[in-house]
Chains A and B, each alone.
Chain A
Amino acid sequence: MIKSLMVVCGTGIATSTIATGKIKEFLTSEDKVNEVKFLQSKISDEVSAIRNGDYDIVVSTTMVPHEIQDKVINGVALLTGVGTQKVFDQIKAAL
């Protein structure tokens, strides 16, 4: 079963693109990239969908409303390079 992976940021254009690229690289190295359907958007368009559980996995590079925090993996480490593996582990565990 293919899982949906939504990557969100403030604009849906810059940091979510970078994070998506990093995750693709990782999943390719794990031979799992075909198990995932990648989606990308801006957080303001996705809050209710995330709340409703429309996506299997959600990664964000921006602050998300408190109510959906427990459904979202914080992806800022993919940008700073500090703590990247922890993010990858969380994604892998959700597959």
Chain B
Amino acid sequence: MLDDKVIVLDSEAQNRTEALKLLAKKFVDHKIVQTSFIEAVLKREESFPTGLATEIIGVAIPHTDVQHVIRSQIGVMRLKAPVNFFQMGDGKDVPVKIIFMLALTKPHEQLEMLQKLIGLIQNKKLLIKILNTNSIENVISILETAGIE
């Protein structure tokens, strides 16, 4: 899920649309998704927001329909300054510091991995490690620690 190392640290994106476009564009560059993924993920985020207020920071897990996806992969973007997302379920503002973008093809086969991602989001210590590291390799090893690989 992390083979392509689509990880961006300290992006200076000014808002969620800019952040999502930047990250989705990288997925396109790596041929993880079709070009149509970019618009689809933006549209999906407006209709069905993916912000989640965890105990310490806001995160978002943007994704979209399988037909835009070529192969499964997770991308990570840490923002220099948080950008506002809407919270899943209730639409409240959530200042998001880390985005985990998901390209998914077969949900049932990926259940375990998705559960681990949520485990990571609920794990304060690991999130703090991601906030504090300066290396992409470290982010990957933190995700691997959480069982995401």
Contacts and interface: CB of A to CB of B under 8 A. Distances in A.
A14 B45 CA distance: 13
Interface of A: 9-18, 20-22, 40, 43, 60-63, 74-76, 79-82
B88 A15 contact: yes
Interface stretch (B4-12, B101-109, B140-148): B101-109
Given A20-B111, A62-B48, A15 B65 contact: no
Given A11-B48, A11-B63, A17 B111 contact: yes
Which of B90, B91, B114 is packed against the most chain A CB atoms within 10 Å?
Answer: B114
A13 B104 contact: yes
A60 B89 CA distance: 8
Contact of A63 (B54, B64, B90, B114): B90
A3 B7 CA distance: 43
A14 B63 contact: yes
B89 A13 contact: no
Contacts of B48: 9-11, 43, 62-63
